[in-house]
Structure 1
Amino acid sequence: MDDMGDVDERDDSYCETPAVTEAPGGPPYAACVLCQEPTEYPESTKGITLCPVCEWREAERTACSG
């Protein structure tokens, strides 16, 4: 037997998706061009702004498949 502890006591909190909220007192955030959720970028950011979820999906879509 190893001394690693019980398997049932795992911490799966890293699997939970945090809610996207606007930081109080922060700059006005740009809206995602795909889903209109707030992004991590200020409104003054040039170019296409994506929220973290859409950025992840775009990266998956454009990743090399082979």
Structure 2
Amino acid sequence: MGASEETAAETGYADCVECGEPTEYPESVRGATRCPVCEWHEAQRTACSG
């Protein structure tokens, strides 16, 4: 296990509020956390449609 893996295992990652998959954010982050896929989908939904 590498140093970054040990840190991740100790802190844990927050679950995505939409799909439940692990995110890139630690559990200590406040607010709605999304996985990269759901973040991309949210950006597409909220982008200006011209």
Q: Give the structure-1-normalised TM-score.
A: 0.63
1:34 corresponds to which residue?
18
Name the SS for the 2:43 alignment partner: helix
Cα-to-partner distance string for 1:1-52 (whole Å, 9 max, x where unaligned): xxxxxxxxxxxxxxxxxxxxxx732130000000000000000100000000
Task: Tell me how far apart the structure 2 counterparts of residues 42 and 58 of structure 1 sit (CA, whole Å).
Answer: 20
Give the letter aligned to residue 37 of structure 1.
Answer: E
Task: Tell me how far apart the structure 2 counterparts of residues 33 and 43 of structure 1 sit (CA, whole Å).
Answer: 12
Percent identity among equivalent residues? 66
Tell me whether 1:50 sits opposite 2:34 in the alignment.
yes
Higher Cα Rg, which structure: 1
Q: Give the structure-2-normalised TM-score.
A: 0.82
Report 1 or 2 for greater relative contact order, CA contacts < 8 Å, sequence distance ≥ 6: 2
For structure 1, list consecutive stretches of 5 or more residues without a partner in the other structure.
1-22
